[in-house]
Amino acid sequence: MKRFELYRHYTGTIYMLRTIMYEYESRKKMYLLMNTLSGAEIAVSEDDFNSDADIDDVKNIMKQDRVFEPFELIAPSVENFTTKELERELAKRADSVFNRLNIKGLNDRVFVTEYAVGYKHEPRITRGKEYPRQVEVELVTDTLEEAQDYLKRGNLRKEATIFKRTYIEEG
């Protein structure tokens, strides 16, 4: 397996392998995959990545034997990222896997982690102007408990949720 190789999930979604990493405490090998259509990232354990797919599952529209299988394009062209560039890019994103996992070496540079209550907005184009994925924040707090309490008692729309933000020291 190499960075930037393409894999097809049994549901038909194409993912690009961004990097191979290890969960900090368990040392389990994890794969950071990016959905080639939406840009969303997911972390998949090596066991899940290599598991067998149920050929009779209605979600298995590709009728694959494996959950993920290699996918070839006629002429793939993918920008080459260094690990530092990838970490920098992912650190900016509220939905990044780096904000959910303890990845060896990354936690050493975590400056602060906080919790935000708010609303997520998917990327969109309005009147010809592009708006990136973003979070409309109602409250920022240091503890998950405070965020959960605010979410329960706050006068918020039903789609409000809690986001974990992690600030990583550069360098």
Give the whole-angstrom CA distance, residue 62 versus residue 48.
18
| Residue 105 resides in a domain | no
pLDDT value at position 63? 85
Cβ of 137: how many Cβ atoms within 10 Å? Answer: 13
Give the whole-angstrom CA distance, residue 119 versus residue 114.
16
Claim to verify: residue 20 and residue 68 sit in the same structural domain: yes
pLDDT value at position 45? 93
| Residue 68: strand, helix, or coil | strand
Give the whole-angstrom CA distance, residue 119 versus residue 77.
34
Q: Note down pLDDT in tens along the chain; length 171 residues.
A: 888 888 989 888 888 898 999 888 888 999 999 887 778 889 999 999 999 999 888 888 888 899 999 886 533 333 555 556 656 666 665 555 455 444 445 555 666 778 889 988 888 888 888 878 788 888 888 888 999 999 998 788 889 999 887 776 665
Claim to verify: residue 10 and residue 71 sit in the same structural domain: yes
Claim to verify: residue 21 and residue 77 sit in the same structural domain: yes
Per the structure, the count of domains in the chain is 2
| Residue 23 resides in a domain | yes
Cβ of 44: how many Cβ atoms within 10 Å? Answer: 21
Domain that holds residue 163: 110-168
| Residue 92 resides in a domain | no
Please give the model's pTM, rounded to 2 decimal places. 0.43
pLDDT value at position 78? 38
Q: What is the CATH number of the domain that holds 24?
A: 2.30.30
